[in-house]
Amino acid sequence: MAETGDFQATQLAFAAHIRDPAHRPAPADVEDRRMAVYRELFFNNISSFLAGTLPVLHQLLPEAQWQAMMRDFLVRHRCHSPYFLDIPREFLTYLEHSRGTQPGDPPYLYELAHYEWAELALSVADEQLPPAAGIAEAELLDAPLQVSPLAWPFSYRFPVHRIGPDYLPEAPPAAPTYLLLYRDPDDEVRFIELNAVSARLLALLLEHGGDPDYTARQALEQIAGELGHSDPDVVIAGGRDILGDWLDRGILYISAGSGH
């Protein structure tokens, strides 16, 4: 038992040191030249993987700031998944709950990281688009439409899809940015920017997705009422065009067993 305890203590000391070499001493019986190999491999692997997953954020931050943030992530955060692809999700948890606001951090730090993570997460998501049934355009408003499990809507304070070297906002605009990320039938991840009305339409379709009696017409009538629009038919006609586009993109589908 003593040997097991000693080995576990060495393991813990080894792991603590490679995460935080400035404050946690290495095991006394391990040559520093060898420890340096593990320190560099561990840090560089995590940093390189996150840089590849979050390329825009990595590009925008000074390298010294990026390296310091990577070290802080390794020191403060304990990952709960053994899978490498889950590291970006763990990094988001660190940004949201552990990092706090640090000098030099851009105000869009978390949202930009989240947007870039979502692209990766959607690209490897296990869900599949169910077989779709054909439908005539005239029936679109009254069909039981379903939102693809590979269509993920998000609302951001910042227009994260525009952030780059030529656009570095210091404050969020007055209106939120609504983005819909989706994986098309060719498994390519794409996005479209929504306005408040189309975002509301998608939200209603998601909310009532399990109700076979709920139709897009009902959703659009509800939206027209919320807007206080004087001519609901205008809202419904505009919504029909949006629905047709979403159906073509694979964002919406009609279950093959729906009878349509």
Quote the pLDDT of residue 112: 98
Q: Who wins on pLDDT, 212 or 103?
A: 103
Quote the pLDDT of residue 68: 95
- Range with the poorest average pLDDT among 43-52, 157-166, 209-218: 209-218
Quote the pLDDT of residue 133: 62
Q: What is the DSSP string of 132-158?
A: BPP--GGGGGGS--EE-TTEEEEEESS
Quote the pLDDT of residue 3: 54
Look at the domain 137-253 and name its fold.
Outer Surface Protein A; domain 3 (3.90.930)
166 has a pLDDT exceeding 60: yes
pLDDT tens string 227-258 = 988 888 899 999 999 999 999 898 998 865 55
Quote the pLDDT of residue 5: 57
151 has a pLDDT exceeding 90: yes
Q: How many CB atoms lie within 10 A of CB 12?
A: 12
Quote the pLDDT of residue 188: 94
- Residue 246 neighbours by CB under 8 Å, 6+ apart: 252
pLDDT tens string 122-138 = 999 998 877 666 676 66
Confidence of residue 19 (pLDDT cuts 50, 70, 90): confident
210 has a pLDDT exceeding 90: no
What is the Cα–Cα distance from 115 to 248, expressed in whole angstroms?
A: 24
- Range with the poorest average pLDDT among 1-15, 42-56, 126-140, 173-187: 1-15
17 has a pLDDT exceeding 50: yes
- Range with the poorest average pLDDT among 112-116, 175-179, 206-210: 206-210
Q: Who wins on pLDDT, 210 or 46?
A: 46
Confidence of residue 202 (pLDDT cuts 50, 70, 90): very high
Domain residue ranges of the chain, discontinuous segments joined by +: 2-105, 137-253
Q: What is the dihedral of CA 93, 95, 98, 103, to 10 degrees?
A: 180
Cβ atoms 144, 255 nearer than 8 A: yes
pLDDT tens string 56-102 = 999 999 999 999 999 999 988 888 877 888 999 999 999 999 998 89
Buried b (16+ CB within 10 A) or exposed e, 236-248: bebbbebbeebbe
Give the sign of the dihedral formed by CA 123, CA 88, CA 54, CA 193: positive
Q: Who wins on pLDDT, 236 or 143?
A: 236
Q: Tell me the average pLDDT across 110-119.
A: 97
193 has a pLDDT exceeding 90: yes
Q: What is the average pLDDT value for the chain, to the nearest integer?
A: 88
Cβ atoms 229, 244 nearer than 8 A: no
The CA angle 251-253-255, to the nearest 5 degrees, is 155
- 3-class secondary structure, 191: strand
Confidence of residue 4 (pLDDT cuts 50, 70, 90): low
Buried b (16+ CB within 10 A) or exposed e, 43-70: beebbeebbebbebbbebbeeeebeebb
- 3-class secondary structure, 178: strand
